[in-house]
């Protein structure tokens, strides 16, 4: 039987229970279709605001997957999704119907923008009023559970975006303790409110600012975490705007909000402990976008226990400069977790998110032109999105893509529903790619297929889970024109299979002869078409057309021969190249009685030293002026290998 109720205070205020699993709304329910939420109970006559509801005697959902093995954090490929703009029907059933499409892309996690009860039915969801309740705008709890269950059946984790930094005025936690001179249930936060600050304590506040030093607020957050982890079996959370958790700043002091705040570090460690106490293996992702010093506190927290928080790593601007064809501010070396000071691969890199302009919009609006090569041409821009995928997914560590980026979605984040572009239309509804048949358009589907192939071999080969990799993004010392990418992924501990990958990308608007600097000669395999090349010189150039890329791995078909030979060869890898910290890690293999010599480009010897052991690492202090240098490794067999290092 259905029950509905409200609490009434001594001054006759009526509020729903903040811990309602679902609520009825006098404002929003009338606009929810019967196809989305069949048999939606009518809002009780004569009442207002929100009403709690529950049913007795319900049959529990029959979960098909009860032991889901979550993908490792470092191997996550997250698909961020706003259901409102993903399907025309805008409900769980329509998303269930698209599972084949999502599975075919080879992603292993879906991050849903907020689905907790929010004001209105056509929102991004960050205007949350009831963090504990599933919003009815997308369907029933049973359908949402079916979606989660289906994702788990297909090896896909489900992550929920949640805004615990604030709540709207409809929240009973705000309405029970507010100054309400008009008697309409809305008003300013009162001084005795145990949940919210009267005056915001950070510069990014919207709605009502939670006081996270309050025991009441901490209890509320923990109860909400428990509800989603246990009732709906979701796999983790993306915590929105974690800068808002400090209690040490003011609404007008952005410098304070963006600076390191110890109270915020401590508060969010407390919440990490509580979430992991509820579900030890659940994902915890912060949208902080702050200082490395502060983010390190969470990324490196409890990593010895296999935990640690993941942090959003925004590389939209730098990747977009590459896809448009402009070298200024185009370096995306900070895709590397090491440059953030993270012990593990905790930086969730992305080129697009719900909050950033679409790469394709700027490609088509502002792309570079060189003669007949025009980035503003649709097919040209789409081909460059394939190259973005090659220089993005191959970098080890968790990744995130925004919905329809795989189809070259080009509508601006600021597009209004009448087709104009205005910053005020940021959260407006956007055209749906499926309705425009983007998924059946040959040129757009080619981007999807390319990304799916790259993600597939990223999942397939263990080398892509290695913590040893280097990103040379637009190294002007080696490539004066810029816009050349070299990525080196390697794992010398692998005894069989692919253990070296070299990625080359030409983001310029003309053909380029790119020096690959292979780690060793021999047979290398193009992972996109499985063709084999025989490398006789590690520095022989490879010609790449504008917007073209190569992903090359050491050839492993004849494992007993190729891998054994590779394992017995002298090798040298240079991590953190170009050098920014003054230290470069040299990783050497089969260097018996090895000796290192450093030369500048004039041939003058800068340094030399002997190595300890046949295999190992050496931290080289690069105490030289900025420039390019040659690192020469020689072993007692007389074999030598040479690499470039840039400071």
Q: Cβ contacts of residue 266 below 8 Å, gap of 6+?
A: none
pLDDT at 88: 97
In a domain, 555, yes or no: no
Residue 234 pLDDT exceeds 90: yes
Per-residue pLDDT band for 647 (boundaries 50, 70, 90) equals confident
Over residues 42-72, the pLDDT tens digits come to 999 999 999 999 999 999 999 999 999 999 9
Please give the model's pTM, rounded to 2 decimal places.
0.87
Over residues 127-183, the pLDDT tens digits come to 999 999 999 999 999 999 999 999 999 999 999 999 999 999 999 999 999 998 777
- Claim to verify: residue 42 and residue 83 sit in the same structural domain: no
- Claim to verify: residue 271 and residue 210 sit in the same structural domain: yes
- The last residue of one of the domains, among 409, 438, 461, is 461
In a domain, 536, yes or no: no
Burial of 56 (0-12, 13-18, 19+ CB in 10 A): exposed
- The last residue of one of the domains, among 11, 26, 55, is 55
Q: What are phi and psi of 401, to 5 degrees?
A: -125, 150
Helices of type H across 191-314: 215-226, 254-258, 262-278, 292-299
- Claim to verify: residue 302 and residue 335 sit in the same structural domain: yes
- Domain span at residue 436? 75-461
- Claim to verify: residue 246 and residue 161 sit in the same structural domain: yes
Q: What are phi and psi of 405, to 5 degrees?
A: -60, -30
In a domain, 541, yes or no: no
What mean pLDDT, rounded, does the chain reach? 92
In a domain, 343, yes or no: yes
| DSSP state letter for 181 | T
pLDDT at 242: 98
In a domain, 308, yes or no: yes
Supply the CATH number for residue 117's domain: 3.20.20.80
Of 163, 158, 284, residue with least CA distance to 233: 158
In a domain, 440, yes or no: yes
- Claim to verify: residue 258 and residue 130 sit in the same structural domain: yes
Of the given ranges (6-10, 25-29, 243-247, 477-481), which has the lowest mean pLDDT?
Answer: 477-481
Strand extents, DSSP E, 196-262: 208-209, 236-239
- The angle that helices 262-278 and 215-226 make with each other, rounded to 10 degrees, is 40
For range 349-376, the mean pLDDT: 98
Supply the CATH number for residue 641's domain: 2.60.40.1930
Residue 644 pLDDT exceeds 80: no
Per-residue pLDDT band for 572 (boundaries 50, 70, 90) equals confident
pLDDT at 561: 43
Pairwise CA distance, residues 519 & 523, whole Å: 12
- The last residue of one of the domains, among 418, 439, 461, is 461
Residue 475 pLDDT exceeds 80: no
Pairwise CA distance, residues 428 & 149, whole Å: 30
In a domain, 391, yes or no: yes
- Claim to verify: residue 589 and residue 630 sit in the same structural domain: yes
In a domain, 480, yes or no: no
Residue 638 pLDDT exceeds 60: no
- Claim to verify: residue 293 and residue 195 sit in the same structural domain: yes
**Terminal C-alpha separation, the chain:** 71
Question: What percentage of residues in the chain have a pLDDT greater than 90?
Answer: 81
Query: Within a 13 Å sphere around the CA of 35, how many CA atoms are in the beta-carbon half?
Result: 6
- Claim to verify: residue 16 and residue 145 sit in the same structural domain: no
The total of structural domains in the chain comes to 3
Residue 587 pLDDT exceeds 50: yes
């Amino acid at each position: 039987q259905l029950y509905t109720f409200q609490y009434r205070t001594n001054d006759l205020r009526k509020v729903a229970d903040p811990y309602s699993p679902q609520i009825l709304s006098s404002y929003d329910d009338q606009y929810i279709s019967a196809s989305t939420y069949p048999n939606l109970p009518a809002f009780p006559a004569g009442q207002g605001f929100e009403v709690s509801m529950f049913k007795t005697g319900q049959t529990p959902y029959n979960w098909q997957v009860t032991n889901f093995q979550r993908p490792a954090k470092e191997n996550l490929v997250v698909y961020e999704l706003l259901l409102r703009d993903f399907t025309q029907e805008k409900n769980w059933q329509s998303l269930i119907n698209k599972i084949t499409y999502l599975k075919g892309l080879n992603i292993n996690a879906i991050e849903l923008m907020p689905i907790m009860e929010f004001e209105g039915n056509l929102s991004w969801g960050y205007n949350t009023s009831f963090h504990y309740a599933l919003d009815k705008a997308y369907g029933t709890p049973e359908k949402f559970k079916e979606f989660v269950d289906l994702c788990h059946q297909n090896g896909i984790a489900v992550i929920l975006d949640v805004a615990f930094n604030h709540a709207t005025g409809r929240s009973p936690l705000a309405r029970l303790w507010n100054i309400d001179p008009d008697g309409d249930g809305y008003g300013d936060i009162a001084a005795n409110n145990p949940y919210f600050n009267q005056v915001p304590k950070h510069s990014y506040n919207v709605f009502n600012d939670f006081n996270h030093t309050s025991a009441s607020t901490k209890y509320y957050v923990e109860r909400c975490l428990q509800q989603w982890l246990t009732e709906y079996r979701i796999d983790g959370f993306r915590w929105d705007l974690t800068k808002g958790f400090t209690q040490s700043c003011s609404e007008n002091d952005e410098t304070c909000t963006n600076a390191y705040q110890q109270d915020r570090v401590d508060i969010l460690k407390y919440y990490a402990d509580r979430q992991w106490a509820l579900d030890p293996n659940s994902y915890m992702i912060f949208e902080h976008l702050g200082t490395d010093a502060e983010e390190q506190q969470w990324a490196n927290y409890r990593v010895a226990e296999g935990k640690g928080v993941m942090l959003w790593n925004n590389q939209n601007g730098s990747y977009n400069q590459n896809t448009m064809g402009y070298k200024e501010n185009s370096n995306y070396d900070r895709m590397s977790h090491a440059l953030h000071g993270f012990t593990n691969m905790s930086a969730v890199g992305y080129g697009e998110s719900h909050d950033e302009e679409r790469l394709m919009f700027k490609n088509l609006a502002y792309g570079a032109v060189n003669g007949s090569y025009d980035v503003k041409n649709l097919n040209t821009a789409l081909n460059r999105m394939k190259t973005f995928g090659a220089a993005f997914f191959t970098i080890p560590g968790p990744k995130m893509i925004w919905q329809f980026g795989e189809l070259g979605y080009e509508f601006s984040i600021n597009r209004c529903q009448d087709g104009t572009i205005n910053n005020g239309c940021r959260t407006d509804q956007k055209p749906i790619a499926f309705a425009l048949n983007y998924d059946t358009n040959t040129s757009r589907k080619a981007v999807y297929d390319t990304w799916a192939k790259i993600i597939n071999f990223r999942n397939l080969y263990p080398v892509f889970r290695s913590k040893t990799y280097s990103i040379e993004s637009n190294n002007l010392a080696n490539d004066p024109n810029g816009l050349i990418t070299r990525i080196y992924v390697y794992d010398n501990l692998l005894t069989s299979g692919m253990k070296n990958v070299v990625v080359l990308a030409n983001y310029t608007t003309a053909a380029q002869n790119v020096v690959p600097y292979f780690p060793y000669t021999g047979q290398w395999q193009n992972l996109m078409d499985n063709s084999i090349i025989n490398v006789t010189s590690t520095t022989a150039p490879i010609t790449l057309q504008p917007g073209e890329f190569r992903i090359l791995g050491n050839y492993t078909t004849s494992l007993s021969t190729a891998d054994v030979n590779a394992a017995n060869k002298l090798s040298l890898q240079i991590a953190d190249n170009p050098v920014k910290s003054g230290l470069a890690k040299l990783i050497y293999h089969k260097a018996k009685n090895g000796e290192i010599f450093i030369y500048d480009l004039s041939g003058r010897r800068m340094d030399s030293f002997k190595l300890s052991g046949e295999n190992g690492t050496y931290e080289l202090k690069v105490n030289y002026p900025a420039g390019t240098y040659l690192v020469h490794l020689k072993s007692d067999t007389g074999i030598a290998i040479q690499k470039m290092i840039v400071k």
